[in-house]
Structure 1
Amino acid sequence: MRLRSNDISARTVGDETIILSLSDSQYFSVTGIGTRIFELLGEEHSADELVERIVGEYEVDEEVARRDVEAFVGRLREARLLR
């Protein structure tokens, strides 16, 4: 999975990422690990790869990372931000 990059604008300031979907003028604010997952989705990654990266970069166990990744990716899908 990967972000729809042709019609999304995003800026990160500190720990917050502001995302604007240009196609439907939706605005999103992401913080914490969500910012890192959003960055990783700039390239093609499977859910398992995302979980592996989060576990390796943060002090979180795999079960928690998987739950968080799946929830975040689910919200991105609902907002049609993934291709």
Structure 2
Amino acid sequence: MTEQEIVHRVDPDRVAWRVAGEEVVVLDTSNSVYFGLDATGALLWQRLVTGATSTELVTALVQAAPVDRERARADVAAFLADLRGHGLLVQRP
């Protein structure tokens, strides 16, 4: 199974979040840590709430920002790795 086939989703049991203008503020309720996401992070985050593959996230980023697909792919991979590192995502095939 490739990374693109995995559906990434925000762990609803672990986070609370709010949109604040063009940004998103996330609270890791397990560790009481806040994260601030800029407009690009907010775009990706809101798709992760309902679940999205890496490919879907890359496509959304390319459509919303002046970025080429390779750069978008790298940025999405880094964003997902960071969220996974903080335990904020769940994954399913």
Query: Could you tell me the TM-score, scaled by structure 1's length?
Result: 0.90
Structure 1 residue ranges (4+ consecutive) displaced by more than 6 angstroms after TM superposition: none
| Alignment of 1:65 onto 2:76 | no
- Aligned-CA RMSD value: 1.1
2:58 aligned to 51, 65, 70, which one?
51
Structure of higher RCO (CA pairs closer than 8 Å, 6+ residues apart): 2
Deviations 1:49-78 (A, max 9, x none): 110121122221101111111111111001
Query: Could you tell me the TM-score, scaled by structure 2's length?
Result: 0.81
The separation in 2 between residues aligned to 1:17 and 1:49, in whole angstroms, is 20
Q: Which runs of 5+ in 1 are unaligned?
A: none
The percentage of counterpart residues that share the same residue type is: 34
- Number of residue-to-residue matches in the alignment: 83
Instruction: Determine helix, strand or coil for the equivalent of 1:19.
Output: strand
